[in-house]
Amino acid sequence: MVAREAGVPVPAAGAVSIAIDGVSKAFGSVQALADVDVRVRAGEFLSLIGPSGCGKTTLLKIVAGLVPADRGRVTVGDRTVTGPGPECSVVFQDFALLPWSTVQKNVEFGLLLRGVSPGERAERAQRTIAKVGLAGFERAYPAQLSGGMQQRVGLARALAVSPRVLLMDEPFASIDEQTRRVFQDDLLSLWSEERKTVVLVTHSMEEAIYLSDRVVVLSPRPGRVHQVLEVPLPRPREGGDVRATAEFARLVDGLWKILRKLQ
């Protein structure tokens, strides 16, 4: 696959596309999603945004195989999703760390479940911990870390298993704005290196525009695809002044106008 614009790395060799076809989901009498169709390109960074309760997180969990769809189908690469698979890792909003385990053991956890040998587990965990900027904290416990550092541990755990798809459910929602911006840049740097397929659920219009290749706007419940927006901002974006440009402001304002009409 050829990069779409100068300076953009091509998708990693193992990157996969995601096809969401006619997905519907109800919880009792509440219809959460109705006939959702989305295509995520291999190596793409795509965000899901919409009014509260529109089914963003439910859709992410269906892609991850954590929640079954009532109707429709999700395909990750060449596998039809019927449950959790090795292609996907999920980063949760609440970190979901094991409080009794060190950073090292938390990051090793997914590798342990996959039967990776102790020596390889330790090596891969240490390498990933360094990649997310936490070298030296391997023996620390979650309670000894800031919220931003805990979220880095969650990201490291997800990356350690070398997923082809990274699914992120509002990973920056509970950290302060300064840390959030730093984390966004770090995430973009990691994504630029490996170019995995990423699907991000967010409530932040600025975050969706800053990080994404495209933004999928879902309608109020039951969630349907209302609009798909291309984000033509050049890459790389991290470390620059993209947020200060008129084009960034125009794109955020355009997204806000769409969301306001859906309220």
- pTM: predicted TM-score of the whole model, two decimal places: 0.89
pLDDT at 6: 41
Domain shared by 83 and 131, yes or no:
no
pLDDT at 213: 97
Domain shared by 158 and 177, yes or no:
no
Residue 177 belongs to some domain of the structure = yes
Domain shared by 83 and 174, yes or no:
yes
Domain shared by 117 and 58, yes or no:
no
In this structure, the strands spanning 71-76 and 45-49 are: unpaired
| pLDDT, tens only, 48-91 | 999 999 999 999 999 999 999 999 999 999 999 999 988 999 88
Domain shared by 168 and 218, yes or no:
yes
Domain shared by 65 and 177, yes or no:
yes
Sequence-ordered strand ranges (E) for the chain: 18-27, 30-40, 45-49, 71-76, 79-80, 88-91, 165-169, 197-201, 214-218, 225-230
**162, 185, 210: which is the final residue of a domain?**
162
Structural domain count, the chain: 2
Domain shared by 176 and 247, yes or no:
yes
Domain shared by 262 and 189, yes or no:
yes
**129, 162, 195: which is the final residue of a domain?**
162
Residue 74, phi-psi category: left (phi > 0), alpha (psi -120 to 50), beta (remainder)? beta
Domain shared by 172 and 263, yes or no:
yes
Domain shared by 236 and 156, yes or no:
no
pLDDT greater at residue 241 or residue 31 = 31
| pLDDT, tens only, 248-263 | 999 999 999 999 999 8
Among 158, 18, 38, 135, residue whose Cα is nearest residue 81: 18
Instruction: Give the CATH number of the domain where residue 117 resides.
Output: 1.20.1580.10
pLDDT at 25: 97
pLDDT at 173: 81
